Amino acid sequence: MNDVLVRALSGLAYVVLVLLACFTGQYSQIALAIVFSAIGVIEWLKFSGLKANVLQNTSVIALIILSILLVNLDLNPFTTSVLLLALVLVLLGLFAGLMFFTDQGPTRLTHSVFAIAYVGIPLMLLPKVSIFSSVEFPWILASIFILIWCNDTFAYLSGRAFGKNKLFERISPNKTWEGFFGGVIVTVIASIVMQHYLPFLPLHGWMGLALIVSIFGNLGDLFESSLKRNFNLKDSGKLMPGHGGILDRLDSLFFVLPVSYFYLRILETTTI
């Protein structure tokens, strides 16, 4: 099959999956966060070059899943206590198991903690982003993804057409300032169009969100590029033919989601 067609089909499948989760409720968004977390953790733990370790993989994934459930579900005190106890036991088991019963325990433990911070914490917030002024607006989460896609696409096209000045050549030789600003301009324009059809956020709120996506999305992209360069990897995985792994698709989101979440919390207190 033609490589371009394969890339297009895998990209389309990803877009459909994301948008379907955005518009089918909180449980779908929680499921999406869990799936992304599990795949992302497995990809990241392979970066070290160490042999796969079942204890490490399952413990880190379990910790993140438990955290996602605790953060996003309205649970009764008993269930919350049980999940917290399970989280503590898994955490202690991870620490003890990696330090005392595996080779290169400190290296594995460092990688595990990084996986929780880099992959887990942002995705814990994914289902909560759609809540604005105590009302669920699925378009908020969907719009963040759409703005990221706009920024990535038009930064690439602008860079190809006009790029001359390197943005950060040591980390990502193909990125240029012209591409960066091209992505920013189109993303801001897209946010203005969104405000016209989705007025639950004011114009300055949408434009601010667009700037967050452009700035922190590029930082996330550069950060993941630096990780791959450090480990001499071209892609984080092979899950999406023509696109790489899930970390390659979510690198911008990992930086955009936490900032967007707290930006929206600030915004809702000033617009109520």
What is the per-residue pLDDT across 165-175, written as a single tens digit (0 to 9) for each? 888 888 888 88
- List the domain boundaries for the chain: 1-128, 132-272
Q: What is the mean pLDDT of the chain?
A: 90
Rounded mean pLDDT of 161-167?
87
More confident position, 172 or 146: 146
Rounded mean pLDDT of 179-187?
95
Q: Please, what is the Cα angle at 184 between 179 and 185, to 5 degrees?
A: 100
C-alpha 180/C-alpha 155 separation (Å) is 5
Considering all CA atoms of the chain, what is the largest pairwise distance in Å, rounded to the nearest integer?
A: 60
pLDDT of residue 3: 67
pLDDT in tens, 30-78: 999 999 999 999 999 888 777 888 889 999 999 999 999 999 998 999 9
Percentage of the chain beyond pLDDT 90 is 64
pTM (two decimals)? 0.92
pLDDT in tens, 222-234: 999 999 988 888 8
C-alpha 194/C-alpha 132 separation (Å) is 16
